Chains A and B, each alone.
Chain A
Amino acid sequence: MKPSILRIVSIALVAMLVLALGWAGFAPIHALSREVLFEIPRGTFARRMAGNKVEILPSRIVLTQGVRDVLLLRNLDDVPQVFGPSIMMSGQSLRLPFERAAEYQFACTAHASGQMTIVVEPEPRWPWQKIAYRIREWSENR
């Protein structure tokens, strides 16, 4: 009996789905860099002093342990800025690695609220975690 075209297409689609799930769930997660960069632009302090509500950094940053777990902050403003654990002079960068999955609360003068939360999620090890990670990355970078 000759298989119908519909059946062949269905089998091909299922095979592709199996391949895609296999890749998403088992292939190691690559990132071009472990660093996630944020910059405090020049004039941030002046704009805030002028009464503008300036939010140049997200108030919540999600990192992933072992994949994207280094926060890189650059202060391009003309004045020092305090980011959580440290003061950063004008033109200075802070490279802050996170080795433990946890939620970190930091003070941050670049935020109108003065607060910033860094969430470090555990390294995705199981297939469903890798699939969830890839879906989130894909949706954020769309």
Chain B
Amino acid sequence: MLLGTASVGAGIALADAPRVAGPPDDLLKAGTLSPVMPAPELRLHGSDGQPLTLERFRGKVVLLAFGFSNCGEVCPITLATLAGARRKLGADAHDVQVVYVTVDPERDDAAQMRKFLGSFDATFVGGVGSRAEIEVAQKSYGISAVKHTNADGSYSIGHSSSIYLIDRAGGLRAVMPYGHPTDDFVHDLRILLRS
């Protein structure tokens, strides 16, 4: 009976070969937002000493994420992934800008962010500012940041860890949840750089 079941099933399987079509290759690996709306503007201070706005990087694809320099796990992995993606893009990386906004304005000033980000990629720009300025940026991107104080008085911050993908025209196109590999970013960046 098992043999009969198998042969009947195999026959059906072979006859029924077409499957649900997978996503076309030009679809992003990231979550896509539709309709595309302008990315909320940032009004912060850059770790490079210049005012930090998205307008500054119009014409480039911007990868925007939030974190902090004392982050022990999520931020280093994210930044290493983004740095790896830029390396794999080769010359196209000139049109990709990583912007990393702190969620810890009390400890992260421009110099601290420059040092932290520079250890991954010298082109990365950090966003710093007052607590109020940072909270405006967080709110406009729906970023949560919760402070956890340790027994010794030190603290860590649990924060949203996804990366926003902003196209050359400043449209908020997509969001990549934390944990995607470098190649997924390369895939999506190539699509956004073409568009």
Q: Which residues of A contact B (CB under 8 A)?
A: 14, 18-19, 21-23, 25-28, 30-31, 33-34, 66-67, 70, 80, 82, 84-89, 91-97, 99, 104, 107, 109, 127
Q: How far is the CB of A101 from chain B (nearest CB, A)?
A: 13
A23–B20 contact, CB under 8 A? no
Cα-based distance from A108 to B95 in the complex (angstroms): 33
Q: List chain A residues, Cβ under 8 A from B22.
A: 34, 66
Q: List chain B residues, Cβ under 8 A from A85.
A: 31, 160, 162, 175-178
In B107-135, the 8 Å CB interface with A consists of none
Specify which of B31, B160, B176 is in contact with A95 (CB 8 Å cutoff): B31
A25–B23 contact, CB under 8 A? no
Q: List chain A residues, Cβ under 8 A from B140.
A: 87
Q: List chain B residues, Cβ under 8 A from A70.
A: 23
Cα-based distance from A87 to B177 in the complex (angstroms): 12
Q: List chain A residues, Cβ under 8 A from B144.
A: 82, 107
Specify which of A33, A82, A104 is in contact with B142 (CB 8 Å cutoff): A82
How many B residues face the partner with a CB closer than 8 A?
Answer: 35
Specify which of A23, A91, A99 is in contact with B29 (CB 8 Å cutoff): A99
Q: How far is the CB of B5 from chain A (nearest CB, A)?
A: 4
Q: How far is the CB of B137 from chain A (nearest CB, A)?
A: 12
Cα-based distance from A105 to B54 in the complex (angstroms): 29
Residue of B5, B17, B22 with highest tally of chain A CB at under 10 A: B5
Specify which of B12, B31, B35 is in contact with A22 (CB 8 Å cutoff): B12
B8–A34 contact, CB under 8 A? no
B175–A93 contact, CB under 8 A? no
Identify the closest chain B residue to A92 (Cβ).
B33
B16–A27 contact, CB under 8 A? yes
B175–A18 contact, CB under 8 A? no
B91 at the binding interface (Cβ < 8 Å):
no
B32 at the binding interface (Cβ < 8 Å):
yes
Residue of B23, B29, B141 with highest tally of chain A CB at under 10 A: B23
In B32-60, the 8 Å CB interface with A consists of 32-35, 37
Q: How far is the CB of B157 from chain A (nearest CB, A)?
A: 14
B142–A127 contact, CB under 8 A? no
Q: List chain A residues, Cβ under 8 A from B153.
A: none
9 nearest interchain CB pairs?
A: A26-B9, A87-B142, A85-B162, A22-B8, A22-B9, A96-B31, A82-B142, A86-B175, A85-B177
B13 at the binding interface (Cβ < 8 Å):
yes
Identify the closest chain A residue to B37 (Cβ).
A89
Identify the closest chain B residue to A23 (Cβ).
B12
On whether A18 and B8 interact (CB within 8 A), knowing A28-B16, A94-B31, the answer reads yes
Cα-based distance from A102 to B33 in the complex (angstroms): 23
